[in-house]
Amino acid sequence: MTEDWLRALIALPFALAIGSFMTVVMSRVPAGESVLSPRSKCPRCGADIANRDNIPVLGWLLLGGKCRSCRARISVVYPLIEVSTALLIVGAFWRYDDPWVAGAVAGLLALMPAISAIDIAHKIIPNRVVYSSLMVFPLYLGLAALVGAPVDLVRMAIGFGTYGGGLLVVALISGGMGMGDVKLAALIGLVLGSIDLAFVGVAAGAAIALGGMGAIVALLVGKGRKAAIPFGPYLAGGAVVAAFWGEALSRWYLDTVLG
């Protein structure tokens, strides 16, 4: 237990920095802007955000959620993305003993809050994020396999094909799901499948369950049956559930439902 918390504490400052970067991804990628330059500015007055105000979460709190220059409100979405991203990364390093596996899971989960926010706001899952991830993760997992980490490249390929392929079939038949969802599912299946294919099944089942609950809530608040509901956040939620509780849930399913 002590080693778990030590890994988590070491990961925390890096996790907060990554969370801050993901807010840049969230705000700039949908607009087709560079995530590397220029430095962050107030969207209302255009003033540069000073380094002292750019500290993850703390900067927003000290400013009272307002721009130092024009006092325009800064959306609470920014610190929420920073906090949720950091917690997911830290949680991955707390949950997994092997640093290579923890790094893979942390990298996947770090994308989920920003992708969810983009999908909710813009109804897209950006190719820039997913395609680059689909190139980086296989390289990372291939290197991890070479050094003896408990990942499997065959399972990786199966997870990619089954989850992505399954949603592709659903998208083609139903017409109500975008290709962005298919690509995100393929990415989730690729990473989680390399660890355990059961995790892919849990991710899919959890995404469907969460999506069903989301649809019910949408109907209760007055949205019509034909209202466009982004599925990316539910895919992301399924990935989180599988990453942290996949082993326990798959064992419960096998013992209780099939046993």
What mean pLDDT value characterizes the chain? 91
Handedness of CA 248, 97, 107, 75 (dihedral sign): positive
Last residue of a domain, one of 95, 112, 142: 95
Are 91 and 129 within one domain? no
Are 91 and 134 within one domain? no
Q: Is residue 101 part of a domain?
A: no
- Percentage of the chain beyond pLDDT 70 is 95
Cα gap 162→176, rounded to integer Å: 19
Helix (H, G, I), strand (E, B) or coil at 41: strand
Are 233 and 174 within one domain? yes
Q: Is the pLDDT of residue 37 over 70?
A: yes
Lowest mean pLDDT among 97-106, 230-239, 244-253: 244-253
Read off the pTM.
Answer: 0.94
Are 50 and 135 within one domain? no
pLDDT digits (tens, 9 = 90+) for 157-213: 999 999 999 999 998 987 778 899 999 999 999 999 999 999 999 999 999 999 989
For residues 190 and 139, is the Cβ–Cβ distance under 8 A?
Answer: no
Are 240 and 132 within one domain? yes
Q: Is residue 218 part of a domain?
A: yes
Are 55 and 141 within one domain? no
Number of domains composing the chain: 2
What is the amino acid identity at position 87?
A: L
What number is the average pLDDT over the span 125-145? 97
Q: Is the pLDDT of residue 249 over 80?
A: yes
Of 135, 140, 136, 116, the closest CA to residue 126 belongs to 116
What number is the average pLDDT over the span 62-71? 87
Helix (H, G, I), strand (E, B) or coil at 66: strand
Q: Is residue 111 part of a domain?
A: no
Q: Is residue 77 part of a domain?
A: yes
Are 141 and 239 within one domain? yes
Domain, as residue range, for 233: 124-259
Q: Is residue 1 part of a domain?
A: yes
Q: Best-predicted range by mean pLDDT among 12-16, 69-73, 252-256?
A: 12-16
For residue 247, the model assigns a pLDDT of: 92
Question: Exposure pattern of 125-163 as b/e (b: 16+ CB <10 Å)?
Answer: bbeebbeebbeebbebbeebbeeebebbeebbebbbebb
Q: Is residue 26 part of a domain?
A: yes
Are 69 and 1 within one domain? yes
For residue 27, the model assigns a pLDDT of: 93
Cα gap 108→187, rounded to integer Å: 8
Q: Is residue 107 part of a domain?
A: no
Last residue of a domain, one of 95, 116, 148: 95
What number is the average pLDDT over the span 136-140? 98
Are 81 and 134 within one domain? no
For residue 54, the model assigns a pLDDT of: 84
Are 59 and 4 within one domain? yes
pLDDT digits (tens, 9 = 90+) for 199-231: 999 999 999 999 989 888 877 876 755 566 799
Of 120, 242, 227, the closest CA to residue 185 belongs to 242
Are 232 and 138 within one domain? yes
Confidence of residue 259 (pLDDT cuts 50, 70, 90): low
Token pair for 179? 């290709």
Q: Is residue 157 part of a domain?
A: yes
What number is the average pLDDT over the span 103-122? 97
Are 3 and 62 within one domain? yes
Token pair for 218? 């949408």
Last residue of a domain, one of 95, 115, 136: 95
